[in-house]
Structures are given as C-alpha cells and as structure tokens.
Amino acid sequence: MFYELLENIAQNNGMRDVSPYTKLLLGLGCILIVITSPGYIVPLFLAVILSCCILICARIPYRLYLSLLCIPLGFAITSVIVIILITGGDYAIFQYQLTDWLILSITPESLNQGILVFSRILGGMCALFFISLTTPMTDLFSVMKRFYIPDILIDLAMLIYRFIFIFMEKAHLIYNAQVMRLGYGSYTEALHSFGHLAGAIFIASWNTGEDLIKAMDCRCYCGRFAMLSKESPIRTGSLILVLIFLMLSIVLEIITADYTLIHEIL
C-alpha cells in the first residue's frame, strides 16, 4: 500500500545508519543554497549530486525515484510554462495573440526566469526527497528532542505517527468493503459512500482514542511518554565531508551567479 511505502523505504535504505544530523545538515543546507541561488547551475548541480546519493548510497530503486520525482515535476513544468508565457521582457522571441486582450509571448528574460525557477524546484525537491527517503520519521523524533522542541509536541507527533498508519489501514479496509459492494458507482453514490467512510473513520478514531487511554493506564501512564531510542552516532568524517561539500556549493553559487542560458546562446 502506497501510504506505507515512503516510510518503509526510509526504514530500510542504505544510509539508515548515517547519523540523522549529518543527513539533515546536507538536506537542509542544500535547500537553503538552492533557494538563495541566483543562477540555475548550482541547483541543477545539487540535484544531480543528491540524486546520485539517493540512487547509489541509499540504494533507492531508480524507477521508484523517477516516479516519485514525476509528481512534483508535473506541477513544476505547468507553472514554469505559465511563468515563461506571462513574464515580460525587452523583445519577444515568440508571440501569439490568444484573445483580444491576452498576448502570450516568450522573451529571453522570461525564459531565464523559467529555467531558474525550474532548476530551483528540481534542486529543492531532490533535497527534500533525500531527507525523506533516507531519514525515517522515528529518527527525526530524537533530533526534535535534541533541539528542545517541547515534549508535548514530540509526544503528540509520535502518537500521530503511530496512528496515521492504523487509520490509513482502516480507511483502506472500509473503502475496499464499499467498492466490493459497488459503492462509488455514480457521482451521487460516491458522495454518499464517502460520507459513510468519513463517519465510520470518525467513530473508529473515537473508539481507538478510548482504547489508547485504557492501554496507557494499563501500563502505569503518568505523563511520561516513551524514552527515545539511541540514534546512530555522528561520524566526524562524513560530517566534515558534508560541510566541505556545502562550502564548495556556496563558492560555486557565487561564481556562477551571473550565468544565464539565453544570453550565451544569442
């Protein structure tokens, strides 16, 4: 089932034993560099490097990674097309009169803008996928604890994490039961069935909440949630490597700040 997929991969990936701090530093550092980058080269460069990390170091199957990337890239391409068509510039390379009041035009500036936005999206997505595919949620809880996030928020996050999967499974079962008895056949039927599904989930979550309190009482609950397990130790070697890499990327970002694709072609 798809809802378990990402988390399963993160739990079993090749970089599971790398400290979450190192991975987070790399991922978040890359995101910061990507969104501050004025040129398109660094984001693309980071996208390639991070994808290599995901595919080679973390051993994520490339088909799966491509299909995951396709989801945000679909949105990205459509919005980039819009940006290219509506951003103004000095002269038009291509023009098309759609209606009396709307002229679609492509200018060098709009093309550059489009490419920059696209490369930033790609780089950012790769960094996000790097974090989510290599660092399971359970590791992030201990990181949250280390950064003094209030216990109550972490406890809530842990409970939510635990119960998301139970509810998804329940919803899936109810949905299947409805489909088997020909629910969702027509539009009105679908609305009706979905209402039933929501109602059933509400009742189920209410019951589960009560069961949860019972279970916690049975185990002497007195306000303290579970202790966090030990995370993998930070290895200085990999940490220094990540820092050097981020530094190099920043230097590259400064060097390539003025590069634009279209001016060089013309």
Partner 1 sequence: MTNIILEARDITYSYPYGPPAINGISFHIRKGEKIALVGPNGAGKSTLLLMFNGMIKPDSGMLLYDNRPMQYDRSSLREMRRKIGFVFQNPDNQIIAPTVFQDVAFGPVNLGMEPDDIRTVVSESLISVGLEGFERRPPHQLSGGEKKRVAMAGILAMNPEILVFDEPTSALDPQGSEDMMELLEEIHNQGKTIIISTHDVELAYPWADRVILLENGYILNEDIPERAFANKDLIRKAHLSIPIFLELYLELVKRGMKECERPPRSVLDMIQVIESDRHGQMQMPCTLCGAIYITDCDTLKPRALQRFVTAHHITAIGAMGSRAKTRLKEELLYPDYTYAVIDRCILQAMNGKDALLLTTGGMLIRAQERIDEFNQENARHIKIITVIESE
Candidate segments 112-120, 137-145, 182-190, 245-253, binder of partner 1 by CB under 8 A: 137-145
User: Is 96 a residue that touches partner 1 (CB under 8 A)?
Assistant: no
- Count Cβ atoms below 10 Å from residue 193 Cβ, excluding itself: 19
- Binding mask 142-161 toward partner 1 (x if CB under 8 A, else -) reads ----------------xx-x
Candidate segments 54-62, 109-117, 184-192, 210-218, binder of partner 1 by CB under 8 A: 210-218
Binder to partner 1 among 172, 214, 235, 263 (CB under 8 A)? 214
Token pair of 247 as six digits: 């530094």
Q: Position of tokens 């990402």? A: 6
Residue closer to partner 1 (CB basis): 75 or 165: 165
User: Is 8 a residue that touches partner 1 (CB under 8 A)?
Assistant: yes
> Does residue 10 contact residue 136 with C-beta atoms inside 8 Å?
yes
* Angle, alpha carbons 212-213-217 (nearest 5°): 115
Binder to partner 1 among 98, 180, 226, 266 (CB under 8 A)? 226
Residue 241 to residue 234: CA distance in whole angstroms: 12
Alpha carbon of residue 40 to chain centroid: 21
Residue closer to partner 1 (CB basis): 18 or 31: 18
Q: Which residues contact 148 (CB under 8 A, 6 or more apart)?
A: none
Residue 65 to residue 62: CA distance in whole angstroms: 5
Alpha-carbon Rg of the chain, whole angstroms? 24
Alpha carbon of residue 155 to chain centroid: 23
User: Is 138 a residue that touches partner 1 (CB under 8 A)?
Assistant: yes
- Count Cβ atoms below 10 Å from residue 140 Cβ, excluding itself: 20
User: Is 203 a residue that touches partner 1 (CB under 8 A)?
Assistant: no
- Binding mask 159-198 toward partner 1 (x if CB under 8 A, else -) reads x-xx--xx--x-----------------------------
Binder to partner 1 among 55, 144, 212, 250 (CB under 8 A)? 212
Q: Which residues bind partner 1 (CB under 8 A)?
A: 4, 7-8, 11, 136-138, 141, 158-159, 161-162, 165-166, 169, 208, 211-212, 214-229
